[in-house]
Amino acid sequence: MGHNPLIVPSIRAIICDETGKVLFTKGNGRWGMPAGSIELGESIYETLQREVKEETGLEVVSATLIAIYSGKPMVENSYHDKYQLFEFLFKVDSWEGELLSKTDETTDAEFFAIDARPVARNGFWGEHFTEVFEDYQNYKGTLILK
């Protein structure tokens, strides 16, 4: 496929502790929520389970789909490949296991209060993360489609 623009289905997970703090992981020097792209042969829910496990060590027991984002502009990755965001946002309702602060994909993991969360990134990603948290806080049981 070379450098042709693609549509990449992916997930983003909001995981809260018992006090309502949200889990952030650090990778490539940046804070963000567990996220990643679907692999061949996976369902989107299996992608959620795999990505959360790879980035946090936690096992997703149950989760609720909150939003689907598909109308965003093209994004460019560090390899200068362009893709259109097609993201499924899940709230992880229950999880098991021990949180790992370091994995093959992350260098830190920590729960933060929503209003004291780390600045994830500037530009598009910073705006998207703000939108994600607004949607999470405004979610009333009806799937948000954007």
Q: Could you list the mean pLDDT of each consecutive 10-residue stretch along the chain, which spans 146 residues?
A: 84 96 91 94 98 98 97 80 91 97 93 83 77 94 96
3-state helix, strand, coil in the chain (%, to 5): 20, 40, 40
CA–CA distances in Å: residue 66 to residues 56, 112, 128, 131, 139: 21, 20, 15, 12, 7
pLDDT of residue 98: 96
Give me 22's structure tokens.
């949200």
Write down the pLDDT at residue 121.
Answer: 61
CA–centroid distance for 130 within its chain: 12
pLDDT value for 1 = 62
The residues that bridge with 82 in the sheet, in sequence order, are: 76
Note the pLDDT of residue 116.
85
Domains of the chain in start order, with CATH, are 6-136 (3.90.79.10)
Q: Is the pTM of this model over 0.85?
A: yes
Helix (H) or strand (E) holding 8: strand 6-15
